[in-house]
Structures are given as C-alpha cells and as structure tokens.
Amino acid sequence: MKAVVIDEDNRPQWQDFETAVANADEVLIKVHATAINRADLMQRQGVYPPPPGASPILGLECAGEVVAVGENCSRLNVGDRVCALLAGGGYAQFASAHEGSVLPIPDGLSFVEAASLPEVFATAWLNLFMEANLQPGEKVILHAGASGVGTAAIQLCRSFGSATFITAGSDEKIRSCIELGADAGFNRHQGSFLEKAKEFAGDGGVNVVLDPVGGAYLKENLKLLALNGRLVLIGLMGGARAEIDLAALMMKRIRVIGSTLRARPTSEKAQVMNQLFEKVWPKIESGEIRPIIDATFPIEKVVEAHDLVSSDATLGKVVLSVT
C-alpha cells in the first residue's frame, strides 16, 4: 500500500509501505479519507511518539470501507462504510482498527465528512461528559474554541444544554464560533481573557474548563472556576509549567483532571465510541451537529495541509482525501 512516511528531514512522503493487517479483534479499512490533528504535527517532529503497538504511520482517524474482519469481531462486515478512531496509521491506503473504535458513517455523510469526526468528537465527549461529568445548565469555557476539538465541543455543549465562552486567535474565528453555538468569546491576541470571561461566568463562576493550553492559562482558569468546578487539561500548547494556588483549589473544591485519549486501552475507547454512537450520531444524522471542515487536500499534498494547520488559521478540521 501507499502511506505517508516521515523522512530524515521530518518531511512527509507519500510512498510504498508494508500493507496494514487486521488482527483477530480488528477490522481492515480501505481508507478514503483521513484527517489532521495537532498531535500529528508533534509526532512528525519526533516529540509525540505513537503508543506501544500502534502503527508508526501518522493519522488518528479515518473513514472508508471495511475490507477484512478479524475472527473475534462480531459487529462489522466487509463492505460497511465506517469511520474509526486510530492509535495511528490513518495516513495510508489501508488502516487496521480495533472493532470497538469503529462506527458506521452517520447517514448522509461523505467519507471526507466522516473522517473529520472520530478524534475530535471522542475527545470532546470523553472530557466534557465522562471526565468532567458536565450537566445541563452548567457553564463551560473552551480554549482554542475554533480548533477541531473546540468546534466539536461548542456544538456538543449547545446541544446538551451548556452555555460556552471560547477563546480563539481572531475576531473572525470568534464570530464563527458564536454562529456555531458559543455564547461569547475573546481574542487571545488581545491580552488576558479573564475580565471578559468573568462577565460570562457571573458571580457563580464556570463549572467546567476544557483546556488544551495548560501553563499559560492555569491561573485564570482557577480564578474563573466555580465551587466544585472541573478543569480538564487536554493539551500543553501554552507550556507544561505554572504555579498553582492550592488554597483556591482546596477552598473551591476544584478538580484538575489530566486526560489523553490516544494511549487509553481499547476497552475505554470503545465506551467513548458507544456513547458517541448512542447520543451524538443521531444529532449528526438530523443535522443538529455537523462536521466543521476548513479544507480538504489530496493526501499527496500533506505538507501543504500540515502547513495550513500549523498556521493557526483553520476553523475546525483539515481533511486528507485518499484515492
């Protein structure tokens, strides 16, 4: 098969690679589309290695057709149109996926649209509803609101009854996030978001913060959280170190939760995917929640696609089509 292989200069090349095989618990997918995640850029630079046992090829999600089914699989059949969460291997013509990480493509969606769903919706669902136990009526801050994860999270919060405040890198992105369902936002290049977020939080504070920024935002996040607030840390784009006010943490009974999806056991990923299928897929099929795709590139143009994601100019996902 062909796959994106990273050369010695960290340049991705679309070239021959050993064809993926499915083990007994996996299905083999002929990939029609895959999508870019921020983690791919880090893996390409050599700072985010794949977990043990995962494919060395980039790509945390794909959409395509099932072409082979492992002997322990019971739910999927050859010919099924599916999308899958992967621990790696999506940037290729074939990818293997644990059956529990694979869902049918929601009715009415193309392969390109379906490829944009698994990683960001699984991340947003896992961290808002499973880790932070978000309840209807609770208030949420979403940092990097215009990211793939952010645009999924805005839509989930709107749909499940939570008001959101987002941060993003331009006024235009903030307008787009508000159109998607956010209630207010702040341009991160115009200073601290604290005062604007306080207007949103009101006297009570916010209940949940979903934060891929880390160190640079910790102090403000803790100030904004309400009694029993939850801060879910999913990324470190703003650094891994910060001073923490333990008194605020203790007095407000705040929980700080660190969370990654990729390295979790397949059983935990299957729980997330099952919940997505039950609670979110019907909303995608009805059009209430939709894939947000900024651009699509043929996979041979992966370098241009990565450059676009690195530029921080995107809203939602960048998808790679595979022929």
Q: How far is the CB of 189 from ligand NAP (least distance, A)?
A: 8
**One-letter amino acid identity for 172?**
E
Residues 89-128 vs ligand NAP: string with x where CB under 6 A?
------------------------------xx--x-----
Q: Which of 20, 27, 29, 39 binds ligand NAP (CB under 6 A)?
A: 39
Cβ of 57: how many Cβ atoms within 10 Å? 24
Rounded to whole angstroms, the Cα distance separating 181 from 36 reads 23
Q: At what angle do helices 118-125 and 266-275 cross, to 10 degrees?
A: 90
Among 102, 115, 134, 149, binds ligand NAP (CB under 6 A): 149
Site for ligand NAP (CB under 6 A): which residue of 25, 183, 245, 312?
312
322 close to 297: Cβ distance less than 8 angstroms: no
Question: Candidates 76-84, 241-249, 254-262, 295-303 — which segment interacts with ligand NAP by CB under 6 A?
Answer: 254-262
Q: Which residues of 260-298 are buried (b: 16+ CB within 10 A; e: fewer)?
A: ebbebebeebbebbeebeeebbebbeeeebbbbbbbbbe
What binding mask, one character per residue, do residues 52-91 give for ligand NAP by CB under 6 A, x or -? ----------------------------------------
Q: How far is the CB of 256 from ligand NAP (least distance, A)?
A: 14
Find the length of the chain.
323
Query: Could you identify the residue written with the tokens 């893996």?
Result: 43
Q: Which stretch binds ligand NAP (CB under 6 A): 78-86, 131-139, 253-261, 299-307?
A: 253-261
Contact 229, 208 (CB under 8 A): yes
Coil, strand or helix: which one is 67? strand
Q: Smallest Cα–Cα separation from 263: which of 120, 50, 58?
A: 50
CA distances from 125 to 31, 55, 122, 292 (A): 24, 25, 5, 16
Residues 6+ apart with CB under 8 A from 216: 238, 239, 242
Give the x/- contact pattern for ligand NAP in 222-241, rule: CB under 6 A.
------------xx-xx---
In this chain, which of 118, 148, 185, 205 binds ligand NAP, going by CB under 6 A?
148
Residue 255: DSSP 8-state: E
Q: Measured from the CB atom, is 2 or 269 closer to ligand NAP?
A: 269
Is residue 314 involved in binding ligand NAP (CB under 6 A)? yes
Return the residue of 2, 28, 32, 37 that touches ligand NAP, per CB under 6 A. 37
Which is closer to ligand NAP, CB of 104 or CB of 169? Answer: 169
Within residues 155-214, the interface with ligand NAP by CB under 6 A covers 168-169, 173, 188, 212-213
Cα 9 → chain centroid: 27
User: Which of residues 22 and 156 has its CB atom nearest to ligand NAP in the complex?
Assistant: 156
Contact residues toward ligand NAP (CB under 6 A) are 37-39, 119-120, 123, 144, 146-149, 168-169, 173, 188, 212-213, 234-235, 237-238, 259-261, 309, 312, 314
